Structure 1
Amino acid sequence: MGLDFGGGYRLRAALAEDHAGLNMVCLRTGDSGKDATEREDDPDLLGLIYAVPYQVYEPDFAFVVDGPNGVCGYIFGAPDTPGIYAKMAADWFPPLAARLADPGPDESRWQGSDWARYAIRHPEFVYPDVLHRYPAHGHIDLLEEARGRGIGRRGMEHVMAKLRRAGATGMHLQVSPVNRGAQSFYRKLGFEVLKDEVLPRHTTFMVTGL
């Protein structure tokens, strides 16, 4: 079951044939909500890290936003964070890593999509004890054309309700520290920033009970 947002926009289940669209949306929102096309030399890697595996491993909680021009956003949920991380570590990233050169750990030498190649070859799964009260997590990205229509709020509420019905007691998100708009959006949905010394400093964690 999806949602009709009006104006030719609707939420529906994400399918395997949407992978190219997921990669496109992830790329065009990949610079803290802005278009990362000019920055990346491999246009698919962002989506293969942050979008496609959610459709593959949690299809019941994976949705795309269709608009007049096709896929223009996605909303993903994962009710069991350690479970999906284990699948990604064992089955998703190793085959991708096998076809990518390792750019090495020296960030000063990285160019283009080297940061993504490194992330695929050395994936970071953050789920310390402080997040265990919020075992679900999610991602949302919308192209500019789909913003300001209430799509994000209604879509997130839909996914959060599904996660709650699946038994998740809380949810966490990772947000770019410089993306103030996204942080404000999540606050309106009941999320708040969680600060703890065990959490990485390069990203902001926001949490809410379900």
Structure 2
Amino acid sequence: MIIDFGDGFFLRQATEADHPALAMICLKTGDAGQDATGREDAPDLLGQIYTIPYQVLEPDLAFIVDGPTGAAGYLLGAKDTKAFNAGLAAKWYPRLRAQVTDPGPDRARWSGSDWARHQIHHRDFTIPPALAAYPSHGHIDLLPQARGKGIGRRAMAFLEQRLAALGSRGLCLEVMPDNHNALRFYRAIGFAVLREPGLPDHSIYVAKRLTTAPEIVRTGDRVNGGR
């Protein structure tokens, strides 16, 4: 256990055994924070794109939020987005491309998870210059049973402290424009919406400067070397 959130919820390191949970949570929050199960015909693809690679390529910054009934969220980070993307391009995506068929460029012919299949075959790993001041990035998603308890705020504070202790000077996250709850949350914890030229139109980036300092765990958080 890394942080005890109370009420049976706690943060722990993610392991390879958590890959199904990472995929499940990603699917259950994959529609702008809501359940995307009804939309996808290949439900595991979201996890293969958005969550599982972090446990494989950046295991020290991959965490599970566990609750009374099992995995209820995840917290994922990459200290150096450029290096992480290079790992995806060299090690992760070639395997995925061998497993799925490119549906082609005609979006009118897409159905189910074709958008994800297309992304796998045409993923752009370049980083917009506007993100240069924020070399780290992260993801957090919580299932409904873990929301409204302050878990998201405390988990993000932990990730910021961990990245700062590793020497990162800035953290950014990508948010879908229609995920208004997420945007309100990030603003409430001190992230600013970036409106710089060159950022993609299909998503919003929120960012925060980090002060490099020894890692600090908030009062009341229980720290332990293992579960």
Residue number in structure 2 paired with 1:104: 104
Residue number in structure 2 paired with 1:167: 167
Please list the CA deviations of residues 112-166 of structure 1 after superposition, one character each: whole Å capped at 9, or x if unmatched: 0000011111112241221110000000010001000111100111011000000
Which structure has more relative contact order (CA 8 Å, sep 6+)? It is 2
Larger radius of gyration: 2
Residue number in structure 1 paired with 2:116: 116
Secondary structure of 1:164's aligned partner: helix
Which amino acid in structure 2 is aligned with residue 31 of structure 1?
Answer: D
Please list the CA deviations of residues 28-68 of structure 1 after superposition, one character each: whole Å capped at 9, or x if unmatched: 00000000000000110001100000111111111000011
RMSD, aligned CA: 0.9
Contact in 1 for aligned 2:193/2:205 (Cα 8 Å) = yes
Decide which moves more: 97-106 or 20-29: 97-106
Q: How does 1:75-114 map to 2 (within 5 A)?
A: 75-114=75-114
Residue number in structure 1 paired with 2:149: 149
TM-score by length of 2: 0.91
Distance 1:99 1:25 in 2: 22
Moved over 2 A (4+): none
Distance 1:84 1:145 in 2: 31
Residue number in structure 2 paired with 1:207: 207
Q: Which runs of 5+ in 2 are unaligned?
A: 211-227
Distance 1:107 1:206 in 2: 28
Residue number in structure 2 paired with 1:67: 67
Deviation of 1:74 (Å) = 0.2
Aligned pair count reads: 210
Deviation of 1:108 (Å) = 1.4
Distance 1:159 1:59 in 2: 13
Distance 1:105 1:96 in 2: 18
Percentage of identical aligned residues:
54
Deviation of 1:196 (Å) = 2.2
Residue number in structure 1 paired with 2:40: 40
TM-score by length of 1: 0.98
Residue number in structure 1 paired with 2:127: 127
Residue number in structure 1 paired with 2:214: none
Contact in 1 for aligned 2:129/2:198 (Cα 8 Å) = no
Secondary structure of 2:139's aligned partner: strand
Residue number in structure 1 paired with 2:190: 190
Please list the CA deviations of residues 60-81 of structure 1 after superposition, one character each: whole Å capped at 9, or x if unmatched: 1110000111111000111100
